[in-house]
Structure 1
Amino acid sequence: MISPMANGASFAFSFTFTFVFFFILVVVVWMPCAVVEGQPADGESRRPRQEMVPALFVFGDSLIDNGNNNNLPSLAKANYYPYGIDFRGGPTGRFSNGYTMVDEIAELLGLPLVPPFSEASGSDVLHGVNYASAAAGILDITGRNFMGRIPFNQQIENFQGTLDSITTQLGGVDRLSQSIGRSIFFVGMGSNDYLNNYLMPNYVTRNQYTGQQFASLLVDEYARQLTTLYNLGARKFVLAGVGILGCIPSILAQSLNSSCDLDVNKLVFPFNANARSMVDGLNANLPGARFVFLDVYSMFNHVLSNPTSYGFSVVDRGCCGVGRNAGQLTCLPFQTPCTERESYVFWDAFHPTERINVLLARMSFTGPASIAYPINIQQLAFL
């Protein structure tokens, strides 16, 4: 097994190869892309009539980005076919064949799908905004190999700018405070701080910090950022932990026997443990705040360990990609993806399929404390 932590040369080759590919790709995706009409996602017909919360505000990376990178000078884009092949709006910038996890959560909450910040205007913002950006991280320097991206700090500033529009439409600060305080803030950060920072050979981070030290650095900054959102009026938070990074196709492709990289998986343990402890601390120290931690690692690991029980048969390669495990290059423009997408766990080199996204969202929405700690999203909404 080739470990990225033990074999910098392997990562250097992977990084160079991928970077060259994305440099070519960016020329393609800057051209107008054809909108391909896909099948409506499952959630389109499931939306409850009653809205459980006023709005859903989303912060994160490519796992939940829904188009904020489309007009950036970025190498991390998904606004081209076959991305969105199973989404009613076609390729919108979602790094999936269809729904992201937060799309399904919005449906479960009775809300419409929230627009990306880059397109949100007028009354659209009243039900929430998605500020997520592919390649973004907790640290501002994370993801710079992809050039344009919107780090978490900037996403928070963008939210602050949205508040003026919401205040005007609701008719005053008091109504704003009530609406924001009852809304859910979903944050999914941390994956890129490992994949596109700590594990990259062109970053010095790994030479400066041990895995435990880096996790502490990330979570300390994370707590500060979340407190900033709290000070802006947010009270109900859902924090998605980092998933099982050592088993994604991009990492599997670097192993001669396509095995999960245990070193990479162990690397994220302290981050998730610290983030869960952070939730306890923030709940205790920020009056009126309710923070929920989603153990995405455990949820994903359970699916990978028991794929047939969930109806999956392909767990070690992307549905759309190039090279070993369809993970050496991500999905190319107009590439033909696999036809049995319902049986695949991974859509491309880094991201899960719509079916997994929907499954994780449902687990998080009504799951036990071992999955959603200390309460689930549904319980949070009713508070």
Structure 2
Amino acid sequence: MKEDVQKMVTISNQKQKLWLAITMIMLIFLQYGAVVGSQRVPAMFVFGDSLVDVGNNNFLSSLAKSNYYPYGCDFRTGTPSGRFSNGETFADMIGRLLGIPYLPAFADPNTVGTRILHGVNYASAAAGILDETGQHYGERYSLSQQVLNFEATLNQLRTLMNGTTLSQYLAKSIAILVFGSNDYINNYLMPSMYSSSYNYNPSDFANLLLNRYTRQILALHSVGLRKLVLAGVGPLGCIPNQRATGQAQPGRCVDYVNQILGTFNEGLKSLVDQLNTNHTGTIFVYGNTYGCFGDILNNPASYGFSVVDRACCGIGQNQGQITCMPMQVPCQNRSQYVFWDAFHPTEVASAIIAWRAFSGPPSDSYPVNVQQMSRI
């Protein structure tokens, strides 16, 4: 028995050292603005919400913006870019691992001509699968609008390459889609502003989201994309914003919120199986954000974290009642915090999620990881 315990402790220590080493290597590359590997795919296209927005909302009439300090305090330029992070986003890091430079924001007027050849980022803070999600923040690019924006990019690409070349370019490129979080925290879980929780039980609402999502995924497929990563929704009941509601005991996540996400995430994984069966020559991947992030929260010390229940920058209970404000002084030991603000992970936490999506087993990225996808 004693030997078994010692063996488990040894394995745990090895795992901790491994993840700390991986994270440090990733962050060294991030600090110096290096592209981690040779270019593996022609381009990457990113669709989603504030978890992967790189500044689209800077150009929109929206309350959901992060173009002020201390956002970006650890970004390679040391200045805010519109990313909802102290540094890079999960998608930035996946891009680096694929050998893709930072993608320009679609809404930036300078995103034209050869600047779009490595791909474009369409993500918009407060955006959801449903068009109405996040409307209380003002303008944002919903999923359906982001698909239309991609089609506008296609029109530009047609002026830069012929039809055959464009088809091959799109087929080899990777699309990352990160949606669903706002449909819960900025719609379903806000009954004072949205009627969805009165009209649908959690299971029916998840199915509504999946049906709408499928429609847009197929639209992207119809115009030529053949490699799509669909990220699941993380454990929203554990973000500082939800912990600050007082619906859970101190130190605990809001279990109800996490439980209602099950139908959506399980349905999204099943959808990936269905799409892969029905569309030969295309690979759809499910990113197990919930499982990967849950592992970090359940075993923080193994990843070098010491603070999991409050934000590095924010105001009120759990630093999550009001998100990071302009010129607010953030925590100093940011690498020990899982959450940067009331809603978003720190750069270090994002680095772990990115690495697991890129090189992890099927339990992290199903049925293949992003690295394997890039070789197909």
Q: CA deviation at 1:252?
A: 0.7
Which of 270, 283, 304 is matched with 1:277 structurally? 270
Matched residues in 2 for 1:105 and 1:304: separation? Answer: 22
- 8 Å contact kept, 2:37–2:98: no
**Aligned residue for 2:241?**
250
- 8 Å contact kept, 1:40–1:86: no
**Aligned residue for 2:306?**
313
- Match for 1:162: what amino acid? T
- Match for 2:290: what amino acid? Y
- Match for 1:96: what amino acid? S
TM-score by length of 2: 0.89
**Aligned residue for 1:353?**
346
RMSD: 1.3
Matched, 1:182 2:172: yes
Q: CA deviation at 1:325?
A: 0.5
Matched, 1:111 2:111: no
- 8 Å contact kept, 1:83–1:96: yes
Q: Deviations over 1:313-351 (max 9, x none)?
A: 010100000011000000000100000000000000000
Structure 1 stretches of 4+ with a deviation exceeding 6 A read: none
Matched residues in 2 for 1:173 and 1:356: separation? Answer: 40
3-state SS of paired residue (2:102): coil
- The farther-off stretch of 110-119 and 308-317 is 110-119
**Aligned residue for 1:36?**
none
3-state SS of paired residue (1:369): coil
Q: Deviations over 1:142-198 (max 9, x none)?
A: 00111111100000000000012112122x111111101100000000000000110
Which of 36, 61, 64 is matched with 1:76 structurally? 64
Q: CA deviation at 1:124?
A: 1.2
Q: CA deviation at 1:41?
A: 6.2
Q: CA deviation at 1:46?
A: 4.6
What are the within-5 Å matches in structure 2 for residues 36-75 of structure 1? 42=30, 44=32, 46-48=34-36, 50-75=38-63
TM-score by length of 1: 0.88
**Aligned residue for 2:118?**
127
**Aligned residue for 1:197?**
187
- The farther-off stretch of 92-101 and 160-169 is 160-169
- 8 Å contact kept, 1:43–1:104: no
3-state SS of paired residue (1:316): strand
- 8 Å contact kept, 2:29–2:36: no
- 8 Å contact kept, 2:30–2:76: no
Distance 1:173 1:371, change over 3 A: same
- Match for 2:217: what amino acid? L
- Match for 2:74: what amino acid? D
Query: What is the aligned length?
Result: 344
- Match for 1:213: what amino acid? D
- 8 Å contact kept, 2:37–2:97: no
**Aligned residue for 1:304?**
297
**Aligned residue for 2:83?**
94
Matched residues in 2 for 1:40 and 1:173: separation? Answer: 40
Matched residues in 2 for 1:133 and 1:150: separation? Answer: 5
- The farther-off stretch of 295-304 and 44-53 is 44-53
Q: CA deviation at 1:131?
A: 0.1
Unaligned runs of 5+ residues in structure 1 are 1-38
Among the aligned pairs, what percent are the same residue?
Answer: 51
3-state SS of paired residue (1:186): strand
Matched residues in 1 for 2:232 and 2:51: separation? Answer: 12
